[in-house]
Structure 1
Amino acid sequence: MGFYKLSILGEAAVGKTALIGRLTTNKFARNYTLTVGTDVKTYTFKEVRYSLWDLGGQVKFDMMRGTFLRGSKIVFIVFDLSRPNIGRERIPYYKQVIEKNASPETIFILYNKSDLLGKKQDVKGEIETTQQLLKKHFGKEFTHFVVSAKKGEGVLDPFESLSTMFQ
């Protein structure tokens, strides 16, 4: 059985804590709770254990975020599909803090809150725009997943991919 530190980055209120709650308890907390600094939970998927580090998304936690990232083998960067511009301006910061403090084997991009989207929203276009910005700053493309922590849709998909990588 492997054990990996997985850090989850993203702006405030993109659903990082909700994703972890869905994974660890299979429940969705309707009330928003601010993560102060970091919160750590353990999650097992297909005999692989993950230490899930929920890193607070507020700018005031930027100074300590690097410390919490150290030792991360996996990083998820979470964006909110219902507010597509939120977080894009922070991509250069994410690159800097990851490169300075962690050497992840894998970085996945999660587009959360798919349940809030109307039929008219151009989800594909928004994802392509963000993916292009990520490629511009990181110099490579990342695997991405569209998820809904509220409905539980797609939340296991990143772990399915990880399970094939870490066999």
Structure 2
Amino acid sequence: MIAKKVLLVGNFGVGKTSLIRRFVFNEFSEDYISTIGVRVSSKIVRLDGVQIKLLIWDVAGIKDDEKVPKAYFLGASAALYVFDLSREETYLNIKNQVEMIKELSGLSTITVVGNKKDLLTADEINILKKTIEIPVDMITSAKENDQVEDAFNILAKQSLK
């Protein structure tokens, strides 16, 4: 078995912790509990016959003007940038945020995930995807368990590259 450090990053309140709880424990809670610093969870996944222990770093939500400790990003094999489909401020500066994470982590690819799909219609999501300045790799809902496992499988695949 191999272990891989992977990151979930993005603004506060976008659902990073909810995605992790859904993936690791198959649980969802409406209660919002702010992550302070970083919280690490793990789950073993099997991908192409290989067992991978994902060490999932839930990095506290950030704002554009905040500095995140570089140590959180060191040694990461992959990262998901999560934004809230229903809150414009979480994706307005998404290109700069993703570039900053690439710089801090040394990763060349960051998977971009729009979360809280359950709060919008399919038409609203399609319009929104056209307004975001970078490609969105996946649309998820932690609440409805929609494409959560797929997002972490992408993360696991990225970690092996």
TM-score range, shorter chain: 0.7 to 0.9
Once the two structures are TM-superposed, the CA of residue 126 in structure 1 deviates from its matched residue by: 1.2
Count matched residues.
Answer: 156
Instruction: State the alpha-carbon separation in 1 of the partners of residues 154 and 95 from structure 2.
Output: 23
Regions of 4+ moved over 3 Å: 58-62, 159-167
Once the two structures are TM-superposed, the CA of residue 147 in structure 1 deviates from its matched residue by: 0.6
Instruction: State the alpha-carbon separation in 2 of the partners of residues 14 and 48 from structure 1.
Output: 26
Cα root mean square deviation, aligned: 2.4
- SS, match of residue 75 in structure 2: coil
Residue in structure 2 matching 1:145, options 138, 148, 152: 138
| Pairing 1:19–2:19 present | yes
Give CA deviations for 1:30-83 in whole Å, capped at 9, x if unaligned.
200000111111122112111111111133993334220111110100011112
| Pairing 1:76–2:80 present | yes
Once the two structures are TM-superposed, the CA of residue 144 in structure 1 deviates from its matched residue by: 0.7
1:111–1:146 Cα contact (<8 Å) kept: yes
Residue in structure 1 matching 2:107, options 104, 107, 113: 104
- SS, match of residue 122 in structure 1: helix
Instruction: State the alpha-carbon separation in 1 of the partners of residues 109 and 3 from structure 2.
Output: 14
Instruction: State the alpha-carbon separation in 1 of the partners of residues 90 and 78 from structure 2.
Output: 22
TM-score, normalization by structure 2: 0.83
- SS, match of residue 48 in structure 1: strand
Residue in structure 2 matching 1:113, options 101, 113, 116: 116
2:8–2:79 Cα contact (<8 Å) kept: yes
Return the structure number with greater helix share: 1
Letter of the structure 1 residue corresponding to residue 126 of structure 2 = K
- SS, match of residue 63 in structure 1: coil
1:45–1:159 Cα contact (<8 Å) kept: no
Percent of aligned pairs sharing the same letter: 27
| Pairing 1:156–2:138 present | no
Once the two structures are TM-superposed, the CA of residue 84 in structure 1 deviates from its matched residue by: 3.6
Instruction: State the alpha-carbon separation in 1 of the partners of residues 144 and 18 from structure 2.
Output: 11
TM-score, normalization by structure 1: 0.81
| Pairing 1:53–2:57 present | yes
Distance 1:49 1:23, change over 3 A: same
Instruction: State the alpha-carbon separation in 2 of the partners of residues 148 and 92 from structure 1.
Output: 24
